[in-house]
Structure 1
Amino acid sequence: MPESSAAQEQPPQLALKIGLRDEANFENFCPRESLAAVLDSMTRPAAEPLQFLHGGAGVGKTHLLQALCHTTEGSLYLPLADVHGSPPRSLLDNLEMAALLALDNLEFIAGDSEWEEALFHLINRARAVNCPLWVAARRPAMELGIELADLRSRLAGGVTWAIAAANDEEMRRILQFRAERRGLALPDPVASYLCARETRALGDLMDTLDRLDSASLQRQRPLTVPLVKAVMGW
C-alpha cells in the first residue's frame, strides 16, 4: 500500500536537529554591538525568507544557527560539512516542510554540481512555501566558488549578514560572560592572558574554559595566570 501524501511530506528524521549542542542557545551568546541587527532579525519574522550569514571560522555562526533552531519548534539544522559526501537529492527532499531550516558550512558543497543543483531547488521549494531558510558560510556567496550561476544569484538575493571576528575587548568580555554563566570567576588579567595565548576561534576558547573550569574545581583554587600556565602548559 503506498504511503500517504502527508507521510511523504515529512522531512527526514535523520536531519532533525542533528548536531545541536545544548549550550548553543541565545542565553549563552554574549551580545555584541556589531551583531545587534542580526540578533534582532532572529527574534522576529522576516519579510525575506533567505538569510545568509558569512564570516571566518570560529566567529559564532554555528552557535547562532543552533540557537535559532533551539527556539523554533519543528526546525531543522543540517551541517553540510558532515553530510556533503552523501547523495543530496534524497537528503534534501522535503526539508522545506520544516518550520525553519538552517544550513551550515555551505563552503563544503561549493564546486559539487550535484549538490549545487539540489540546493538550488531546495531554496526554490523553501521560498514557495515561505519556509525561513538560514544559511552560513565562511565567505560571501559570490566568493565561495559556487559554479551554478542560478544558485549564486539565489544566495546573493537574500539578506546577507557579515559576522566579523571579535576584537580583543569583545573576546575578553565573551570569555568572562561564559565563565560567569557557569559560576566561574575570571579576573581581567586572566581573561586577557587567555585571549593573548589561545586561538581566536570561539570554540577553542570555550574548550579551554571548560578545561580550566574542571581544573579549578579539582584543585579548589581560583583561576589565576599561574594556574592557567600550569594547566595549559604555557
Structure 2
Amino acid sequence: MKRHKTNTNLSLHYNNTYQGLPVMVGKGPFVVNHLFQLQHLMLSALTRHHRIYAIRFDLRLPEDKSARPIDALTNNVIQRFYASYKNKIQIDRKRAKSANSRAHDSNILYAWTKEIASQEQQHYHGIVFLNHDAYNSLGTFELGRRNNYNRLVESWASALKIPAEKATGLVHIPKNATYRIDIDDRESQKRFFRRASYICKAATKQYGNGQHGFGCSRC
C-alpha cells in the first residue's frame, strides 16, 4: 500500500472497489483513511435510520475577495456551515413535531472535503445524511421556500456572513446529487458510495498548512 507523498500518515487506494463498494476509479487514487470514514459514516447513518436520504453538493467562495469573511481560507467556514445546517434541521423537526406529534425526527451526519486549485480558489464538496422518513427531496430551487435547498443556501450564506441572495450562485447541486439508501439494499449503498467516493480522491488536496482537507461527523 503506497503512502501519500506529501502526507505519509495517509495511504492511497488504487483498486476499483473498497470493502466491496465501487469507487470512481477514473478519479483515483483515493485516500484509504477517507474511504474508511465515508463508509463508517454511511453505516452509522443507517443504524440510526434504516432508510436515509443523502445529498451531495458543492460550496464555493465569492470571487470578490472583499465579500469574503476574514477567515474564508480556513475551515472555520465549513464548520459554521454545518453548525447552521444542523440547527435549521433541528428547528424544522421541532416545527413538524408541534404540528404532528408523529412526525419523524432526523439525525444529521455529514462529510466534507476541501479542494484547492490555487490558494485563492478553494472550494468544498459536501454530503449530508438525513432520515428518509423525514426528508426525501431538495425542493424547489427558489429562495424563500422551506426546503433543503434553501437550508443549504442559507447555511452557506450564514457561514460566509452574506445575505442568502448572494449565496445562491455559490451553492451548486450537481447531477445525481440525491440518494435513498436502505440498510437492507446493498445496491443502493453501492450507487451512493461510488458517487460519494469522489470526495475521497487524493488529487487537489493540500497538506502541511495546518488545515484539514477532509472532515466528517463524529459517530
Greater strand proportion:
2
TM-score interval w.r.t. the shorter chain? under 0.3
Please identify the structure whose Cα radius of gyration is greater.
1
TM-score (norm 2): 0.24
Structure with bigger RCO (C-alpha 8 Å, 6+ apart): 2
Greater helix proportion:
1
